[in-house]
A and B are shown apart, each in its own frame.
Chain A
Amino acid sequence: EADIYQTPRYLVIGTGKKITLECSQTMGHDKMYWYQQDPGMELHLIHYSYGVNSTEKGDLSSESTVSRIRTEHFPLTLESARPSHTSQYLCASSPRGARSDTQYFGPGTRLTVL
């Protein structure tokens, strides 16, 4: 079981609200990732970070933003949620060295925007 946590697990909010999805890991991993996944579908990378103060956009265009002020923390923010943001958001991390290709996932946040 990976030591990577996401809160909240479920969130139902109205259109226009600002939300922050939290992701924390206690494994000291440098690299962290955010994926978006619709039910039964593939994962799409929306943001990633190689370390503190490093953030990059992924393959899928997203209106969300991320920050990486501390190694263990990689929150994702939506300034104004819309129904099109309804999805599952998965956070992951990976270590340096020999196992750097393996990603460890959190349990996910299922977001519903009404």
Chain B
Amino acid sequence: SQQGEEDPQALSIQEGENATMNCSYKTSINNLQWYRQNSGRGLVHLILIRSNEREKHSGRLRVTLDTSKKSSSLLITASRAADTASYFCATRVNNAGNMLTFGGGTRLMVKP
């Protein structure tokens, strides 16, 4: 079974609204990362949060991490049509070198 699972699988919102995506994982982690993938393209790193951090911001992105619940959330504020993409969480498990385990992704559509 996969380490990370995103929820919801798909999300459709209007431009200007906020989008929240959640990620749950199973084992202890060193850090958790969020990546973005435009249709048919490679992934782009958005933000990394370490296991001893609870919240992190980058521009319109806000990530939270709750290690007691083994979950993370990604909030995109004031969404734009250009934010339309799939968003994946990836966990670096302790004692697993630099290996990342990816979840199934949330497909976000932002309507203009």
Contacts and interface: CB of A to CB of B under 8 A. Distances in A.
Contacts of B101: 45, 59
Consensus secondary structure, chain B interface: strand
B48 A101 contact: yes
Contacts of B43: 43, 90, 92, 103, 105
Interface in A29-69: 31, 35, 40-43, 45, 48, 58-59
B105 to A, nearest CB: 7
B33 A101 contact: yes
B98 A31 contact: yes
Range of interface residues on B (Cβ < 8 Å): 20 to 34
Contact of B40 (A42, A48, A110): A110
Interface in A69-94: 88, 90, 92, 94
Nearest to A44: B102
Nearest to A105: B42
A92 B88 CA distance: 15
B6 to A, nearest CB: 9
Contact of A90 (B2, B42, B92): B42
A30 to B, nearest CB: 10
Contacts of A35: 102
Interface of B: 2, 4, 30-31, 33, 35, 40-45, 48, 86, 88, 92, 98-105, 107
Interface of A: 2, 4, 6, 31, 35, 40-43, 45, 48, 58-59, 88, 90, 92, 94, 100-108, 110
Given A40-B105, A108-B41, 12 more contacts: A35-B102, A41-B105, A42-B88, A42-B105, A58-B99, A59-B101, A101-B31, A101-B48, A103-B43, A104-B45, A105-B43, A108-B42
